[in-house]
Amino acid sequence: MKEKTVCWNITSNCNENCEFCYRIICNKENTYEQNKRILDILINLKIDRITWSGGECLLYPNLFDLMKEAHNNNIQNNIITNGKALTPTVIDEIEEYTDYITFSLDALNEEVNTYLGRGKNHGKHVIELLEYLKNKKIKVKLNSIVTKKNIDNIREIIDIVKRYKIQRWKLFKFISLRGKSLKNKNEFYIEDEKYEKLINEIRKEKISCPIVECKEKDIENNYLLIDPIGNFIITVDSKDKIICNLENEKKEEIEGILRNEFRRKLGFI
């Protein structure tokens, strides 16, 4: 059965500086009270899962309060993180109400990670966290961005996927949607043929978890976004489209618009 999910970019603040980034940049973010209103709407809609993202979602000060409330209302929590603000202590704190942690991992090579903007110790730190998570009930996923600059390094991650209990490895083809990804398009763009060749090669490996490819149209068809200031967004023809806003529509109006959007995307509401 298909799930009702949203990707909530709770903050645009980030502690890395990825040159291919397409996060939504906002010069402010909602208060906890404003985000609680959004969460109440999602609870009423009986959303199955919230993917908390950013920026770096762990930099939002009230993230864990919102996650606890979501968990208490039978919503799964998935954190997408670069891992820099994640420690064993934080993992212990959030274990009871976190279903998934999805790490962004694009290479293990320190020079490549530095060039991409992740920082040279990025891969090492993620591996340390994966090691700690082996004895935790939180499930782990990986996201990788495939670009012209790291396509030859993606294979380094195969050993990590084999070594640890990874639930799913999603490989995003670089897209120039917004932000730095538009500015640096020529530097990171890869052709469909090269991307698909890599996916086919990876699928020949003895990897037990699902390998999921994600290209431009997959982004448009699968993601309902909430940005840091309460805009509900879909992507159409590689452009963001605001379908409603926390401040401009009443709660009941937003719920109706979102129901229609889920009906359009998933066809079962």
Spell out the domains of the chain, with CATH numbers in brackets.
5-266 (3.20.20.70)
Its pTM stands at: 0.94
Q: Give the tokens for residue 182.
A: 């538009």
- Give residue-wise pLDDT tens across range 129-158: 999 999 999 999 999 999 999 999 999 999
Angle at 168 between CA 148 and CA 6, to 5 degrees: 90
d(CA 91, CA 76): 16
Q: Give, for 226, the enclosing helix (H) or strand (E).
A: strand 225-226
Angle between helices 63-72 and 32-44 (to 10 degrees): 20
Confidence of residue 1 (pLDDT cuts 50, 70, 90): very low
Looking at residue 69, its pLDDT comes to: 98
User: Is the pLDDT at 267 greater than 60, yes or no?
Assistant: no
User: Is the pLDDT at 218 greater than 50, yes or no?
Assistant: yes
Q: Average pLDDT for residues 45-51, to the nearest whole number?
A: 96
d(CA 104, CA 117): 12
The residue among 2 and 191 whose pLDDT is bigger is 191
Percent of the chain having pLDDT more than 90? 84
Percent of the chain having pLDDT more than 70? 97
On whether the CB atoms of residues 149 and 115 are closer than 8 A, the answer is yes
Peptide bond into 55 cis (omega under 30): yes
Nearest to 249 by CA among 263, 240, 260: 260
Looking at residue 238, its pLDDT comes to: 79
By residue count, the chain amounts to 269
Query: How far out from the chain centre does Cα 13 lie?
Result: 14
Looking at residue 269, its pLDDT comes to: 38
Q: Of the given ranges (30-44, 100-114, 218-232), which has the lowest mean pLDDT?
A: 218-232
Confidence of residue 236 (pLDDT cuts 50, 70, 90): confident
Q: Is the dihedral of CA 178, 67, 74, 143 positive or negative?
A: positive
Looking at residue 263, its pLDDT comes to: 84
DSSP-derived 3-state class of residue 220: helix
